Structure 1
């Protein structure tokens, strides 16, 4: 089959990385795959994606992606299109209708619906919801990356077709990346317990809570280190907080790195402190790498990933002492490899592809 996988932007973030994994998994099964990127951050290089035809349009803004999508659908004539993020899903569905494409369309939602829609009449979010209600009639499948998100979507689209399909996270490439060596002494010497976290340094990720937790652990006399991977506008604020708490010697903010999973594999705990997620890929990546997960019970995803606290530890958002307690418990009683593998089984490549094809009514590998 000819399959198109679309992402609105290329960046070091959950959606484009997950879409690239999907493209690679489809190529491995013998399909012809185009990977369309609406816009690429000029500071970033798209990594080699063997066997995949990468098409980067450098079109900024969802409404501007519709004309090239129409042209692509008319000329390339894919059998299936996988898109991700609500605004892009809507654009793909509109483009498919205008192009009179016969492709099966599967759109995946990656963030809570309140970020895009509203039930308050005549607001911008409400108008967007009405548009999507019309466009979704063209969809062959609409998926969400967690069961909790499906429930949330029901409050905006009670009769919507949304079902849960996890991202591909556990595959041979991910495991190989986790096995790569690192040279930072914290990760090679392992002389102190080590917590890792990763994500864009924004308010939504709430890394100020994690820094405060490190201060609390120091106050308790616990020698624990933190490596926080990622970049963003909150870096100066976090660096100032680290200095104020006098924990510069136990916090490392390396910015973006090519392969954070290799570092995760040498750490004890993967911490997630977000206020909101769609489904936190980084939490699953940490579990693939062998970290015990400790996460805030934010909407949506963490509770589902770690089985309600059955594998790892859940705490309330913004509860610094509770997060410090959970990290101490995780260090004392880490999750077993068997428990981690059980919890992430639905993120395995073969499981996710089979689920997508079953929903679309497609047979074959």
Structure 2
């Protein structure tokens, strides 16, 4: 019998939140007897190479354009006959659907939607293509209820075509990873000041400009330090803003780190300041290692993760004053690591992978019965 095989298709980068979740899914699929191809489009790179299992086959189609990608992916589908295709990112969804038509095969295609598309897709022609093409997939996976509502309300996609499956965020290796020592002097034993942590690509979406304003307000009443993990185009502007606010000595933009968990485990508070998200995986990661959290109530995900604010304050987007107040309040509260960890069981990677296999029609009979 030919082994079951999933093709995960996308223009993946070497590092990133989406890429990390793809690798986690691939690892879990392997443990459940599914072979995995990572099929790269449009200059894609091998994601998280230090974590990617060697059993995963990476196939770079070396595509130069969308028509080139359609042609080459069609050839892959005809030659390799994967049992199912899972697409990540909008570009790969459209390419895969057209490639299947060109190849004249019946391979099931599931589209994974990882962000609030009304915030990320602006051009009318792109929105029209989503309306026309996404319903032709065998299913759509939204990573939060908010993302699903956006697809229904903005793009008119029937709700029954969309399944909500959270990201596979919490894996068995979390305790060992969180136990490592962060490579920064602010986390030295006996540190004099609390450390507030944030993480994400330095772009307008993540709202780090608002976080710096909130931190400056917080600093008027108490000493603290702010560390942001990640890099991106907004770095010069954020550095200039920190200097202008007079907080640059206590703000560290330390760039990309391969694993944020040791920093989250040691931080006194984690803050998500985004203007919009698909889910907000960093909130889940921080909670899973026991770090108290504060978040903006942005679309989509934080309200679901924090269960309407039960596990941490939710503040309006773009409101630095209320964000500062929530940060101060949370710093004064007793840390409840056990409660926060329990709240993240919904995001267990093994269970999430089983849900994906069920949606893809590749779950074993006992797995399918358990999920349904």
* TM-score of the aligned structures, taking structure 2 as reference length: 0.89
Q: 1:75 corresponds to which residue?
A: 79
Q: 1:341 corresponds to which residue?
A: 341
Distance 1:345 1:318 in 2: 30
Q: 1:141 corresponds to which residue?
A: 139
Q: 2:35 corresponds to which residue?
A: 32
Number of corresponding residues: 358
Gaps of 5+ in 1: none
Which aligned pairs between 1:1-365 and structure 2 lie closer than 5 A?
Answer: 1-40=4-43, 46-50=49-53, 51-59=55-63, 61-115=65-119, 123-133=124-134, 136-137=135-136, 139-155=137-153, 156-160=155-159, 161-189=161-189, 190-220=191-221, 222-334=222-334, 336-364=336-364
Q: SS of the residue aligned with 1:295?
A: strand
**Distance 1:46-1:360 versus aligned 2 partners, 3 A rule:** closer
**Distance 1:60-1:290 versus aligned 2 partners, 3 A rule:** farther
Give 1:61 deviation, angstroms. 4.8
Q: SS of the residue aligned with 2:59?
A: strand
Distance 2:45 2:100 in 1: 29
Give 1:127 deviation, angstroms. 2.9
Give 1:183 deviation, angstroms. 3.2
Distance 1:248 1:280 in 2: 26
Give 1:318 deviation, angstroms. 1.3
Distance 2:113 2:261 in 1: 25
CA contact (8 A) 2:11 2:45 kept: no
Distance 1:263 1:56 in 2: 33
Distance 1:9 1:302 in 2: 25
Give 1:77 deviation, angstroms. 0.8
CA contact (8 A) 1:10 1:39 kept: no
- After TM superposition, what 4+ stretches of structure 1 lie above 6 angstroms from structure 2? 41-45
Give 1:144 deviation, angstroms. 0.4
Gaps of 5+ in 2: 368-372
* TM-score of the aligned structures, taking structure 1 as reference length: 0.91
Q: Deviations over 1:107-145 (max 9, x none)?
A: 110111314668x9xx42443234315xx32x2221100
Distance 1:70 1:153 in 2: 27
**Distance 1:205-1:336 versus aligned 2 partners, 3 A rule:** same
Q: Deviations over 1:273-292 (max 9, x none)?
A: 11111111112111222211
